[in-house]
Amino acid sequence: MGDFFDNWTVQVRKGLIELCVLNALAERERYGYELVKTLVDIPGLGITEGTLYPLLSRLRLQGLVETRLVESPEGPARKYYTLSEEGRSLRTQMLEYLDQLNRGAGILRRRGGNA
């Protein structure tokens, strides 16, 4: 049963990582490493730099985030990420769907006597 649970948690995380990134960027513009530090502190998310940067690249190619390069006095230039209008709209849709899904799962949970 442990293998099933482990696989299930991996799948749940994969489905939520994009939303977590969009949520973090909805708060404010962030540079890549700052985003990693923010998300690594989320219990159970299990995100790493190796996961985040390819995801940010995909989100940019899909038009969901925008980037800008800013020179840094502390080292190399930093790439800042912000939500595009399309990204904000998609985030809203994702949050509404997740709320709906959680409500449905809650109904089934209560019916099963495990509220």
Q: Say if residue 54's pLDDT is above 90.
A: yes
Q: Say if residue 30's pLDDT is above 70.
A: yes
DSSP class per residue in the chain: -HHHHHHHHHHHHHHHHHHHHHHHHHH--EEHHHHHHHHHTSTTT---HHHHHHHHHHHHHTTSEEEEEEEETTEEEEEEEEE-HHHHHHHHHHHHHHHHHHHHHHHHHHHTT--
The domains located in the chain, with CATH, are 2-111 (1.10.10.10)
pLDDT per position as a tens digit, 62-100: 999 999 999 988 889 999 999 999 999 999 999 999 999
